[in-house]
Structures are given as structure tokens and as C-alpha cells.
């Protein structure tokens, strides 16, 4: 029982860890636009602004973008509660609101579309505080970004009754400090001033956000600096956005810079280039030259040849003595007498050469592939591309010449068929699939790389050209006549100018 409980607990921990890993590094956004106010004049642009901002976040690659329009108070609170769940384990959480906002007694509120606000005390029930919005983005680990394009003139202020004479209801929103870590709050206008709704498709503040906020690699403090400059220019200095943050010293960008593209891989060498490298290594002929070639071309036909040449050098060097065993004396060696084995003084001495002397042994020149090796390799490749049948031989036979001739005819090449050459081998090896058409005997037809038997219907027979034709008894008498007896006693006919036998 304890083991089962431990197993269940381990699985639960693994699932939690997997879910956390899957959500790590995500960016989520909530975008709300309220235009259709029921108890005050409607606003033209918030819905358009919110739609454009939501599309901007989607194009920027945000994993979650929640877009809502014309929310009532209960709908807005429920949306914020649901977004809190989505912000868990996210790196970046952004909440954007466009619509009416107001400040009551030093606190900022955004206004749902069904708000009445007959008294200043009603804001707690009918509006949503900035603190509630901040709480919805709280779970994000690296950045909580709140953007309020809600500093428009308060249409509720004139008719709103004061429950306390000391409670102030101001135009615009009041400036606040970002007192939570990694928090950035942006207002469309500074404290005590209002933001323009705009005469175009979007407000001046949203227009600048769309231009600068999601530039790759740009820190959001610098991005909102660009936004501030654009808004000031568009409104003639009448509207100045305001921001506050509690970010650290590192840059924080909504869109990271793309990873640099990896350097393109060098283009693979052609067979002709590899062959030139092989010939150069062959000219040098040393163990180091063959090692360098094999390192550059670790696999393939020429690599196999190079390894063979290297093995020959290794085996030859292994047969040499480890050092120079020749003993040099002060007296030159004299030829021995044929009878007693002593040197004869009347004949000149001949010095014995050490076995490792160049004059004693001449290093064999490294040879390339032999004609037999080329012939066998070329025949193997011709069979692979469907041009060669029969046995593969070291000799360049008539069958091999016919195969190369078929390759020339079908590949458009003009190699000399009298001999097997490396150029022809390279060309055939470069072909990935069948070149020569498949030839089948009578009664069979090609199907892929195989010949299959031709089957005719019961009232048909196989004609010499490989097609199925009607039997004579099913053909009109005017065109079918018996021609005579065929081999084996079969009856032969002529039908529409075609001869065939039963």
C-alpha cells in the first residue's frame, strides 16, 4: 500500500513538473476595449484600439492572447480572475485596457460599460480598481505590464453625488508607484490630465504603441520613451504619457532578438572535386597525405581506395627494421675468395648497402584504382541504374559495353564504351535512381523495377506487341480469317492486320 502511495505521489510530482516546464517562458496578454457605454456617451475608438493591440500581440508570438469587448462589471471581474490562472508560470503578463477611467480619493478605476456611478461610493461595486488589475498579472515571474488608455475626461463626474465632502473625484487618473517587483505601469496621460480619443482609427497613445512596443530586442522603458515622444508630437504637447516601474538593471523586451542564423554548411564536394583531391594525395603518396584525404572525405568510393593505399604503406613500413642495423667499419668490405672465403687483394672492394638505403630499395609509387577495380565498380553502378544485367566481371566485356551504351542513350552522355573510365563511373554514380527502362520478355510488362505477367480477359488473347486483343470467334468474320497452323498445332489468325495464335 505504501509503495502504491509513493508511486502515485511520484507521478503527481512528475506531472506538475512537466506542466510547469511546458508553460515556462510563455507570454500572455489580456486586451479589453470598452466603447458601448450604456449610461454615458459611447466612445469611438477603444474597441478598434483593443482589436489592433490584440492582433499585435498575436503577430509577436504571444502564446495566449485573450481579447474582450464591451465588458460589464461582472464579466470584467470574471475575465480578470480567469486571466490570473493563465498568468501562472508565465514569464510575461500584459493587461491592456481602453475605455473610461477615473480617480476617486487617490485610487484609480477602469469603468465597465454598465456602470451608473450615481454616488462616489459606487465605484467599489461598479468599477474595477487598478489594484485588482495588478493582482491579475501578479503570477508572472519576469514582467507584469499594465497599459491604461483610460485617461479620458470623466463623464460621470458632473452628476456623481459625494457621500463625503472630503472625497475628491478628479479628471484623468492619479499617478501611482509600481510597488510590486518587476512591474511596469503605463498611463496614456500624466496625472491630472486627460487623453485624447483621437480623430482617426486609433487614439494617439495606441497608435504609438502599435509602432514601438513590440520591436525585437528593445527594452520596454526605451519603447515607452518612443511612445511618449510620438504622442507629444501628435497632440502638440497637450498629452504626455506617464510610466512607473520597478524593473532592475537588465533590459526587458517583449520580443527578444531572433537567434543569429547558423553559418551555412559548406556545399558538399562533387565527385569530380573528390577525384582531384584523391589524385593530389596520390601524387604526394605519404601516409600523412592519405590520412588528410580520409579525414576530409571519410566515406565513399575514393575514401575506400585511399584507405587501401594507406594500409599498403602501413604494412610496408611495418616490415622495416626499427633502426639502422648496418655497422660501419674503417675498412671497406672486400670480395671473398671463392675457395677459402677470404677477400682477394687484387679485386676492388664493393661496399654493402644497407637494406634501407634508397639505392638498395626503391619505394614503389602509390598506384590509383586498377582497371579491374574501375570495371567492377562501373558495372555495379550500371546495374543499380537498370542498364546492366548478367554477371559483374573484372573484365570490360561486351555485356558491360552494351550497358554503358544504354546509359549514354538514356542519360544523354557520350562516354567511350570501349573502356571503363573514372569519368563514366562518376557520372553513373551521380544518378540517384533508374536510368535505363526495364525490358520484359513476351507476356510480361514493366511494373516499377519488376516485370509482371500480362493477364487478358477470357474473351481476349495476347497479341505479339504485348496487348490484349479479342479472340477470333468474337471478332467480325469479315476481318478475322484463319491463317494456318502454328507451331505446336496452334491455330493462327490475322485480325485487323495483326497476327496472333491461340
CB-neighbour burial class of residue 402 (10 A; exposed 0-12, middle 13-18, buried 19+): middle
Q: Where are the alpha helices (DSSP H) in 63-128?
A: 73-87, 123-126
- Find out whether 254 and 221 touch, Cβ atoms under 8 Å: no
Instruction: Tell me what pLDDT residue 390 has.
Output: 82
Q: Give the β-pairing of 460-462 and 468-470.
A: antiparallel
Taken in order of first residue, the domains within the chain and their CATH numbers are 20-245 (3.40.50.1460), 272-306 (no CATH), 371-429 (no CATH), 444-501 (no CATH)
Helix/strand/coil for 182: coil
Rounded to 10°, the helix 204-212/46-59 angle is 0
DSSP string, 321-361: -SS--PPP-SSPP-PBPTTTSPBPTTS---PPPPTTSTTTS
Query: Which parts of the chain have pLDDT scores under 70?
Result: 1-25, 151-153, 158, 163-179, 192, 197-198, 319-368, 448-449, 465-466, 472-502
Strand boundaries in 77-211, DSSP class E: 92-98, 101-104, 107-110, 128-129, 143-149, 169-170, 183-187
Instruction: Tell me what pLDDT residue 206 has.
Output: 94
Q: Give the β-pairing of 27-33 and 92-98.
A: parallel
Instruction: Tell me what pLDDT residue 113 has.
Output: 93
Q: Tens digit of pLDDT for each residue in 32-74?
A: 999 999 988 888 889 999 999 999 999 999 999 999 999 999 9
Instruction: Tell me what pLDDT residue 204 has.
Output: 92
- Find out whether 93 and 102 touch, Cβ atoms under 8 Å: no
Q: Tens digit of pLDDT for each residue in 408-467?
A: 999 889 999 888 898 898 899 988 888 898 777 777 777 766 777 888 887 777 777 667
HSE value, Cβ hemisphere, 13 Å, CA-based, for 383: 13
Q: Which residues contact 138 (CB under 8 A, 6 or more apart)?
A: 84, 87, 144, 180
Amino acid at each position: 500500500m505504501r509503495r502504491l502511495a509513493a508511486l502515485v505521489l511520484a507521478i503527481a510530482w512528475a506531472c506538475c513538473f512537466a506542466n510547469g516546464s511546458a508553460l515556462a517562458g510563455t507570454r500572455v496578454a489580456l486586451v479589453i476595449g470598452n466603447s458601448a457605454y450604456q449610461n454615458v456617451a459611447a466612445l469611438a475608438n477603444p474597441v478598434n484600439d483593443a482589436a489592433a493591440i490584440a492582433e499585435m500581440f498575436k503577430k509577436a508570438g504571444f502564446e495566449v492572447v485573450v481579447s474582450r469587448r464591451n465588458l460589464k462589471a461582472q464579466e470584467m471581474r470574471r475575465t480578470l480572475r480567469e486571466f490570473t490562472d493563465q498568468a501562472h508560470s508565465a514569464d510575461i503578463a500584459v493587461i491592456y485596457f481602453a475605455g473610461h477611467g477615473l480617480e476617486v480619493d487617490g485610487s484609480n478605476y477602469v469603468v465597465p460599460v454598465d456602470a451608473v456611478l450615481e454616488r462616489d461610493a459606487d465605484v467599489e461595486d461598479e468599477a474595477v480598481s487598478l489594484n485588482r488589475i495588478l493582482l491579475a498579472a501578479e503570477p508572472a515571474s519576469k514582467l507584469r505590464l499594465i497599459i491604461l488608455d483610460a485617461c479620458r475626461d470623466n463623464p460621470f463626474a458632473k452628476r456623481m453625488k459625494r457621500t463625503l465632502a472630503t472625497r475628491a473625484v478628479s479628471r484623468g487618473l492619479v499617478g501611482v508607484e509600481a510597488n510590486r517587483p518587476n512591474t511596469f505601469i503605463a498611463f496614456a496621460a500624466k496625472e491630472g490630465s486627460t487623453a485624447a480619443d483621437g480623430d482617426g482609427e486609433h487614439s494617439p497613445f495606441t497608435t504609438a504603441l502599435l509602432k514601438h512596443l513590440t520591436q525585437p530586442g528593445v527594452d520596454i522603458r526605451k519603447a515607452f520613451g518612443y511612445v511618449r515622444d510620438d504622442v507629444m508630437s501628435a497632440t502638440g504637447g497637450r498629452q504626455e504619457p506617464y510610466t512607473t516601474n520597478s524593473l532592475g538593471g537588465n533590459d526587458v523586451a517583449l520580443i527578444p532578438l531572433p537567434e543569429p542564423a547558423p553559418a551555412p554548411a559548406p556545399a558538399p564536394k562533387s565527385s569530380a572535386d573528390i577525384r582531384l583531391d584523391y589524385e593530389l594525395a596520390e601524387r604526394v603518396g605519404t601516409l600523412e597525405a592519405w590520412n588528410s584525404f580520409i579525414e576530409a572525405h571519410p566515406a565513399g568510393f575514393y575514401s575506400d581506395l585511399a584507405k587501401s593505399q594507406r594500409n599498403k604503406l602501413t604494412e610496408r613500413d611495418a616490415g622495416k627494421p626499427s633502426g639502422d642495423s648496418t655497422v660501419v667499419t674503417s675498412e671497406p668490405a672486400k670480395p671473398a675468395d671463392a675457395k677459402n672465403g677470404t677477400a682477394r687483394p687484387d679485386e676492388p672492394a664493393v661496399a654493402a648497402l644497407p637494406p634501407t638505403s634508397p639505392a638498395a630499395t626503391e619505394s614503389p609509387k602509390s598506384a590509383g584504382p586498377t582497371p579491374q577495380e574501375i570495371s567492377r565498380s562501373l558495372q555495379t553502378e550500371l546495374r543499380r541504374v537498370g542498364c546492366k544485367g548478367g554477371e559483374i566481371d573484372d573484365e570490360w566485356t561486351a555485356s558491360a559495353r552494351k550497358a554503358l551504351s544504354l546509359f549514354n542513350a538514356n542519360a544523354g552522355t557520350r562516354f567511350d564504351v570501349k573502356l571503363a573510365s573514372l569519368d563514366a563511373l562518376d557520372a553513373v554514380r551521380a544518378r540517384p535512381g533508374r536510368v535505363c527502362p526495364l525490358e520484359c520478355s513476351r507476356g510480361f510488362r514493366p511494373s516499377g523495377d519488376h516485370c509482371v505477367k500480362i493477364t487478358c480477359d477470357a474473351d481476349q488473347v495476347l497479341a505479339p506487341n504485348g496487348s490484349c486483343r479479342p479472340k477470333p470467334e468474337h471478332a467480325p468474320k469479315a476481318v478475322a480469317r484463319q491463317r494456318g497452323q502454328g507451331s505446336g498445332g496452334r491455330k493462327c489468325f490475322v485480325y485487323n492486320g495483326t497476327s496472333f495464335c491461340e
